[in-house]
Structure 1
Amino acid sequence: MQLWMLRLMIAILLTGLPGALLPEIAFQKFAWLMGYGKQPITPLIVYLSGNAGFAYVTIAVLIWAISRDVTRYQPLVRLCGWTMVLAGPAYLSIDLQCPLPLWWILMDSVGCFLIGITLLWACPRQTTA
């Protein structure tokens, strides 16, 4: 179960690849998907889109390395789980400030939270010595 949750995280994070490679085009497609239509492009938008996409891809590579041996990297698997649990409320706060469509807010915040909870639930129970 841990492996599948980590691989799901990787798949989601790799959606940042277009933003890392073609930030201006990716931003326009994302704006269209969200229902905002054509948006003005500024250097800051291109910079932030490219950096966010690159950060997502970098995190995907790190999680891929962790997923190759979940037993060995169990503390990092737990850290990924807790990070996703905390990302849920963080994304909820960010998304509500935009404001983004409800479907995106739920997918973003609830999705992160549930992935984190599931990942932690799948972790082996620690026994005290």
Structure 2
Amino acid sequence: MELRVLVIDDDTIFNLMADVILRDLGITTQPQCFTSGQEALAYISQHDHADITYLLFLDINMPIMTGWEVLDCLQSMPHHHRIHVVIVTSSINRADQKAARASKFVIDYMIKPLKRDILATLKSHKKIAPFFLANN
């Protein structure tokens, strides 16, 4: 099984920070960063194989295509059961949190900024534990 980590956020500074933190925590040695949902979905479509599991760190407030729209599009991916999403957003809106948790893809909802100690709590999620083990 191949593990791939994608960061999807229109803020390039956030993407750089996420890249460093994800590497430091051993979640991945090579995160793929995208500034739009369309780019990320195109990447997943081109690399959608039964042996690849994805962990997406997804912002919901993006121009052109929101994170909600990305989640909707993931439904049509042939191997969508191998895609796990952590919402990373500035939204503290309870309705957003509730909607995110209702998605079958979303395993966690985190408020920006991304912090090492908060990310470390992801180790307890059974679905993504292999991401921590694979790179250590």
TM-score (norm 1): 0.30
More strand by share: 2
Structure 1 or 2: larger helix share?
Answer: 1
Larger radius of gyration between Structure 1 and Structure 2: 1
